[in-house]
A and B are shown apart, each in its own frame.
Chain A
Amino acid sequence: MHEVSIALGLLEFAAEYCEREGYKGIEAITVKIGKASGVMPEAFHFAFEAVKIGTIAEKACLTINEVPVSGFCSNCNKSFTVEETYVLSCPMCGKSSFRVETGRELNICEMEVF
């Protein structure tokens, strides 16, 4: 449900950016959303379509690139990816000598502006 607030945050950023840089509108926005970010892509899409009406991004289409949860284990000296939204231990050796590297992203990557 907080996807609406996050979509509003995205539009706020996009509108400020266009005003500052002198663009009239937005045709497309690409974002990166981590699987462990707590944001559901479907709900975010739905929220974006609802809140973009009447804004500078009214005609913009949204592309969401999902980022899996991944980490690096110093014991195995290797990266790994997991299906879950968390990592309790390295999936290869079972030890806790790992750091989580991706999965928490909530980033804007690219916009098509005119």
Chain B
Amino acid sequence: MKVKVVAQILEANDRIAAENRRLFKDSGVYVINLMSAPGAGKTSLIESTIKELHNKLRIGVIEGDIAGTDDAQRIESLGIPVVQINTGGACHLDANMISEAITDLPLKDLALLIIENVGNLVCPSEFKVGEDMKIMILSITEGDDKPLKYPLMFQESSALILNKIDLLPHTNADLKKIKNNSLSLNPSLKIFEVSCKTGEGISEWTSWLQSLVA
């Protein structure tokens, strides 16, 4: 017998994401899902953000990696509650992994939870985890062709952090092209130019983030 079904394939994930979202809201914690290619500077941006905001906000972190605990150790050394998820091969975090990880975090004490997704410019944009906002990082050295090669992540994100801006003079990347193409894909995208290494632009980003959390 044929039955017509109207449903999203990822309905099960979306349902758990909605439960996570409700729990975050009840606990009064603002959640960002940080995505980028490997090496764009997700962990470095989290470190810079913590250094700038930890006196103003209680921050917690979930680290998603295929394997290893290097990133969680970097965050833990800053005195921040952190949970490491090892996906064991999966190229993205999903809502269920987050639902399990948050049982190890003092959610009610936190104002901001930063979820560092697995380094990948494709898959993470497909899976909601219960976040208030998706943020992506593109490092200048990745090249100015990325917005049109990986449009989905640029469309799904609320903010684009252009990291390693200090390296711009040493690359062929056309900053204007990156910004124009990103904004054509997503006109409401908020763009920040930063360097986690020199600290340039970090306070603009953290002030904006803080205004969302408060």
Chain A residues with a Cβ under 8 A of chain B:
1-2, 4-6, 9-10, 12-13, 16-17, 21, 31, 36-39, 84-86, 88-89, 96, 106-114
Closest to A7 in B: B9
Residues of A with C-beta under 8 A to B11: 9, 13
Interface digits, B62-106 against A, CB 8 Å rule (1 contact, 0 not)?
000000000000000000000000000011101000000000000
Q: A89 vs B187: C-alpha distance in the bound complex, in angstroms? A: 12
Whether the pair B90, A5 counts as a contact (CB closer than 8 A) is: yes
Tally B residues with Cβ within 8 Å of A.
29
27 inter-chain pairs at a CB distance below 8 angstroms, sorted by A residue, are A1-B123, A2-B90, A2-B92, A2-B126, A4-B90, A5-B123, A5-B127, A6-B9, A6-B10, A6-B126, A9-B9, A13-B9, A13-B11, A37-B152, A39-B126, A84-B148, A88-B181, A106-B8, A106-B9, A106-B126, A107-B6, A108-B5, A108-B6, A111-B3, A112-B2, A112-B3, A113-B3
Whether the pair A13, B7 counts as a contact (CB closer than 8 A) is: yes
Query: CB of B212 within 8 A of chain A?
Result: no
* B2, B126, B185: the one within 8 Å of A88 (CB): B185
Query: CB of B214 within 8 A of chain A?
Result: no
* B1, B12, B91, B151: the one within 8 Å of A13 (CB): B12
On whether A2 and B122 interact (CB within 8 A), knowing A9-B11, A13-B11, A107-B9, the answer reads yes
